Amino acid sequence: MTNTEVNNQGAQEAPARKKRIFSAIQPSGQMTLGNYLGAIRNWVEMQDEFDCVYATANLHAITVRQDPKKLKENTLNLFALLIASGVDPEKSIFFHQSQVAAHAELAWVLGTFTQFGELSRMTQFKDKSARHADNINAGLFTYPSLMAADILLYQADLVPVGEDQKQHLELTRDIAERFNGIYGKTFVVPEPYIKKNAARVRNLLDPSKKMSKSDQNTKSYILMVDEPATIMKKFRSAVTDSEACVRYAEGKDGINNLMEIYSACTGKSYEQIEDEFRGKGYGDFKNAVGEAVVAVLEPIQIRYKELISDKKYLDELARNGAASAERLAKRTIEKVYKKVGLVR
């Protein structure tokens, strides 16, 4: 009997393993509605079906200069906000990237399997080095090797991310295949998991760009912690067009974006939204979008405020999550060191 036959038989008897998920978010300031509808909400939904490992990507965040106090605060706030949104430490492993040293260890090894040319082609590197021209550091350049380490360390099958991270994931797959090709099967080659109906939330003042907190104008984005009155005000000033008709169509980027947000918050289809606002003006529509967003964010904000006042509890949750992550990570890093010939 060949090895494959033995494995196949074994697999039939064993209960089917849930697919493993890994994802992370950088604690680089406040989270936007884009992060929530594009990523965080999916993390929450995936917890029942999958075996999820989630982290705050604080090692990634220092590729851009950070104030130490602020970074720590942002990391803790992000952790609390994700739990308030429904990430459940009882169901998923959730921790801070810097708590598990194997991320940095594996990143170093994988960096030696990542080519200069590949890293030079990354659009995020090009964008960020243009925005931070005074600090184009080596970490910013090798950022994708660390992201590959995050994912491959946990042998993740699927990685839920927004479109903007797809290129990094392609590179992760290439690195995994390259390593497996040299040393034999070591890593699961992960697939991107980009939900078909995951919202791609655009900038409220310039819908040709994605909604991002790095934009200069605070009216261009909604923060998850914005007060309800602020949210309503920001939607009222969102750009639309001169047609005065709520319908999803080419050339109506502002309205399309608002429809996408409204649909993501209410579950209504574009046709239902068009029916609901037939004969009504953009003012009514914008108010409805604002109210729908407030209805989604307000309960999260209330829970967040409770959580953030108990830092000891949050620390304990993260430490427990890190201990579980460490156990999984250890298996991979030991295998990798052995294969590469590194003394442990």
- Kindly list the catalytic residues: 128, 210, 213
Q: Given the DSSP bridges, would you call strands 51-56 and 93-96 parallel, antiparallel or unpaired?
A: parallel
Task: Name the segment binding ligand TYM (CB under 6 A); options: 23-31, 46-54, 87-95, 231-239.
Answer: 23-31
261 near ligand TYM, judged by CB under 6 A: no
Nearest distance, CB of residue 46 and ligand TYM, angstroms = 12
22 near ligand TYM, judged by CB under 6 A: yes
Closest-approach residue to ligand TYM (CB): 38
Distance CA 196, CA 193 (A): 9
Residue 92 · residue 71 · CB < 8 Å: no
Nearest distance, CB of residue 52 and ligand TYM, angstroms = 12
164 near ligand TYM, judged by CB under 6 A: yes
Task: Name the nearest CA neighbour of 28 among 73, 57, 65, 61.
Answer: 61
What are the tokens at 52? 């999820």
Distance CA 131, CA 64 (A): 10
Distance CA 158, CA 20 (A): 6
From residue 87 to residue 126, what is the string marking binding to ligand TYM with x (rule CB under 6 A)?
A: ----------------------------------------
Nearest distance, CB of residue 159 and ligand TYM, angstroms = 5
Closer CB to ligand TYM, 147 or 294, in the complex? 147
207 near ligand TYM, judged by CB under 6 A: no
- Candidate list 77, 142, 145, 165; residue touching ligand TYM; CB under 6 A: 165
300 near ligand TYM, judged by CB under 6 A: no
From residue 48 to residue 77, what is the string marking binding to ligand TYM with x (rule CB under 6 A)?
A: ---------x--x-----------------
C-alpha distances in angstroms, 184 versus 55, 237, 336? 28, 56, 11
Task: Name the segment binding ligand TYM (CB under 6 A); options: 110-118, 126-134, 160-168, 180-188.
Answer: 160-168
Distance CA 2, CA 326 (A): 33
Contact partners, residue 73, CB within 8 Å, separation at least 6: none
Distance CA 315, CA 224 (A): 22
Rg (CA), the chain: 22
From residue 24 to residue 43, what is the string marking binding to ligand TYM with x (rule CB under 6 A)?
A: xxx-------xx--xx----
Task: Name the nearest CA neighbour of 165 among 193, 202, 129.
Answer: 193
Closer CB to ligand TYM, 39 or 44, in the complex? 39
151 near ligand TYM, judged by CB under 6 A: yes
213 near ligand TYM, judged by CB under 6 A: no
Residue 203 · residue 211 · CB < 8 Å: yes
Give me the residue label for tokens 């950022």.
Answer: 143
Give how many residues touch ligand TYM by CB under 6 A: 23
The neighbouring-strand residues paired with 199 are: none
- Candidate list 46, 83, 150, 262; residue touching ligand TYM; CB under 6 A: 150
Angle at which helix 282-308 crosses helix 253-266, to 10 degrees, equals 50
Positions in the binding site for ligand TYM (CB under 6 A)? 22-26, 34-35, 38-39, 57, 60, 147, 150-151, 159, 161-162, 164-165, 200-201, 210-211
